[in-house]
Structures are given as C-alpha cells and as structure tokens.
Amino acid sequence: MRRRFLSCAMAAAALAAAPSISLAQAAWPARPVRFVVAFAPAGPADIIGRLVAQRLTGALGQSVIVENRAGAGGSVASAVVARAEPDGYTLLVNTSSYAVNPSMQRNLGFDATKDLTLAALVASSPNLIVIAPSVKAGTLKDVMADAQGGAYNYATAGAGTTPHLTAEYLFKVLGKVPVTHVPFQGAGPALNAVMGSQTQMASVALPAAVELVKSGRVRGLVVTGSKRSSALPAVPTVAESGFPGFEDVTWVGIFAPSHTPRAVLERINAEVARLQQDPDFLAKLSAAGFDPLGGSVEQSKAYLQKELEKWAQVVKETGAQPN
C-alpha cells in the first residue's frame, strides 16, 4: 500500500511539475543572450551576427550581446559554446568553416557532429578573390600566368574557412599554380594585409570586401557564385574567367550546444525565419552581398551533414593543411 501511495504521489508530482517546465522553456529568454562570433569584426559571421542580434533584441525583449572569439578558423568559438550550458543563453555564430574544420584539424576541442546543433541557417554569399591595387595583373588568367613562378600569396580569414578551400582548389587543383596561403583571424585582418601589400591577394566571403572594392582600396578579381553579384556587378565569375562550372559559397548559421531544449531551438529558428521575410532585413542582406538561407531545424541539420561530407572531399582533393 505504501509503495502504491508513493508511486501515485510521484506521478502527481511529475504532472504538477510538467506545466512549470513547459512554462520555463516558453519563457526563454528571461535574461540577455550571448552571440559568440567565430571570427574577428568585419567578416561575414560578424556582419550577420550583429545584424541578427540587433533585430532579435527587439523581437525577444532581451539584449543579444555580440562577443568576437576569433581563432583556429572558427574552432575557438565553437569549443567555447560547445562547453556552455545548453540553455539557449550562449549561442554560436559561425560560417561554413564549421563544416571544413573536422577534416582539417585533428584536435578541435569539441565534436562537430555531437556537441553543437545548427538551429538556423541565416544567409550565404559567394566568395570573392581580391588583389592589391599595386598588382598589375588584371584578370584571373593574368594572375594564373604570373603565379607560375611561385611569387604569389593570398590571405584568408583562417585555415579551414571555405574561402581558403576555394582558393586552394582554384589555384592548385584547377590552375595548377603554386600560391602560398597566409591565414589571419578574420576577413578584416586578411583584407588589411592586401591593402598594405603584405599579400598580393585575399580570398574572403564577398560581404567583407564590398565597400573596399567599391572604394578602390582593393580590386575584385573574381566571385565564386554561379552568377555575378548584384553588390559588385562589374566583377566576373570564376566560370566566366575560364573555369566553367565553378561555384562556391560561404554560409552563416546560428548554433546551440547539444541538449538545448527543442522549444528554444524552434524559437531561434522561427525568429530567424521571420527576419528573412522582413523587406528591410532582406535589403540589408542584399546590399552587403548576402542571400537569405532558411529551413527548419531538421532541414538545417541535414544541410550541415551534406556540407561536412562535401568539404571532407575538397580537403582530400586539395591536400589543404591547417597551416
């Protein structure tokens, strides 16, 4: 009898607790949310992180604070968030480098397939190869010819970023020319290196360099999309420049630690989806060179799995190293 009473009491307690648990999840966020951005300011992750944080601050009724934690091609920030409490208050803003790093780095400090969940895909952009104003070569074919002697180097936001793999594949696999990779901790520092003639070229996600190309501080060589970017319509595609079929993009997404409540993941996903229907938000994306992405939590997970497989193959083909 006592055992039966205890069982009934425990069941009643569980039922009583269930609404409070649901309410606790529904109340997210009850305090400020932190966006840990995986790269230095001025790159695609930072641009998207700050744009989304600004909008979500109003939508969620809580501050969304942006913190840049650059290093190891985005893996430093990823490891920080992977170790955070899975409560939705520490989130990661990272790029497609997240899908590259497992094939590039032996000791990530986290498991990319188990420790973090892609809650929402926000936007993507083609990559862009820019050259210093002092470089005389005017086209990709000119650069390929000049690079035969091994005198060219190029900057990126870090080893393991998709612009890094883009350049490796384009120059070393397709062009068969020797170029030297110089990794930095963000697209901003990489572009500074080109403007200061420390490197002849940089390979970055397009939004990071749009204003620099327009102002003439760097020259756009090629974009890696299937068509020219409306943000830089004068810059030809790689396909137009002699390598048909070449296409590559950098995407940006919001990740949460694994075991974050499903209700929180769905809320993040839903808020991003709402932003992607906002004409003003879309106009800001377009002006910076981004296109919106989207999809449910499950679709985002499936997208990430395909990206992990795709970039593993590219790393194998290029023999890219984490420098």
Tell whether 121 and 259 lie within a shared domain.
yes
1: enclosing H helix or E strand: none
Tell whether 55 and 115 lie within a shared domain.
yes
Tell whether 209 and 258 lie within a shared domain.
no
Tell whether 209 and 67 lie within a shared domain.
no
The token duo for 304 is: 């990430």
Tell whether 210 and 283 lie within a shared domain.
no
pLDDT of residue 322: 78
Over the stretch 277-322, which tens digit does the pLDDT of each residue have?
999 999 999 999 999 999 999 999 999 999 999 999 989 988 888 7
Tell whether 136 and 116 lie within a shared domain.
no
* Mean pLDDT, residues 163-177 taken together: 94
CA distance 34 to 64: 6
pLDDT of residue 323: 67
Tell whether 89 and 41 lie within a shared domain.
yes
Q: How many C-alpha atoms does 41 have within 13 Å on its Cβ side?
A: 3
What global pTM score does this model have? 0.86
Q: How many domains does the chain have?
A: 2
Tell whether 191 and 52 lie within a shared domain.
no
Tell whether 254 and 280 lie within a shared domain.
yes
Question: Would 170 be classed as within a structural domain?
Answer: yes
Q: What CATH number should be reported for the domain holding residue 66?
A: 3.40.190.150
Tell whether 76 and 130 lie within a shared domain.
no
Over the stretch 192-222, which tens digit does the pLDDT of each residue have?
999 999 999 999 999 999 999 999 999 999 9
Over the stretch 223-276, which tens digit does the pLDDT of each residue have?
999 999 999 999 999 999 999 989 899 999 999 999 999 999 999 999 999 999
Q: Domain boundary at 208, 223, 238, which?
A: 223
Q: What CATH number should be reported for the domain holding residue 145?
A: 3.40.190.10
Which string of b and e fits 24-35 if b means at least 16 CB within 10 Å? ebeebbeeebbb
- Structural domain of 190: 126-223
